[in-house]
Amino acid sequence: MTDFAEIWSYLAQGPLLWLTATLAAYAVGDACFRASGRRPFVNPVLIAVLLLAALLWLSGTPYQTYFEGAQFVHFLLGPATVALALPLWDNLGHVRRAALPMLAALLAGSTVAVVSALGLAVAFGIDGEVLASIAPKSATAPVALGISDRLGGSPTLTAVLVILTGIIGAIFATPLLNALRIRDWRARGFATGVAAHGIGTARAFQVNPTAGAFAGLGMGLNAVLTAFLAPLLLGLFR
């Protein structure tokens, strides 16, 4: 036991340990997802989060120590978001033909996302910093954290809410859209991107490339609109 503790103490000082652990946890989650026949309820991100949380708890490792080693993944979030423009360009003709319906869906989706979250929070007696942290939870993480900070919220809490929103959206989007009998991949993808940002977009790409392209568009446009709507709507609930 002492030897293991000494080995762990040595490894924990290396910056690549937590990067490797993050990639390994996601690889395990993805393997489980594939083994299940790509069922949406077996979400690889959720599995990776649970595995990493258990590892940090069992090893007594502070989050800051973990982040110092795994921050390269955080850095790649920006380039990965920009790279979504490539499949969008391939579907530019579809985007032009569906521009007006998408704008209407964007306005409705962004407004409902913020109002419903704030309304439920106020109904449960939540206010102040926590309320401000909830407002941008449906925007993609880099934008949501910036909005939360400007509104006086907690970026850390917002990050947790953003991840939960994405995971829940990715799990329930496919069965919900199937139940509603929505067959158009453009509509399915755009709705998933608006509601579940990056994690939902990743799920959309797994289902259909056209859905993934429109999910990326929905995610990007929702981030921009949320930056304008969140401060305005938050003022109505304070």
Helix/strand/coil (H/E/C) assignment for every residue in 77-119: HHHHHHHCHHHHHHCHHHHHHCHHHHHHHHHHHHHHHHHHHHH
Domain ranges of the chain: 2-83, 85-237
Give the C-alpha separation, 95 to 85, whole Å: 12
What are the tens digits of pLDDT across the range 17-40? 888 889 899 999 999 999 998 888
Tokens (6 digits) for 104: 């209407």
Do the Cβ atoms of 46 and 29 come closer than 8 Å? yes
Give the C-alpha separation, 164 to 76, whole Å: 20
Could you give the 3-state DSSP secondary structure of residue 139?
coil
| pTM of the predicted protein model | 0.82
What are the tens digits of pLDDT across the range 129-166? 999 999 999 888 888 888 999 999 998 899 889 999 99
What are the tens digits of pLDDT across the range 208-223? 888 888 898 898 889 8
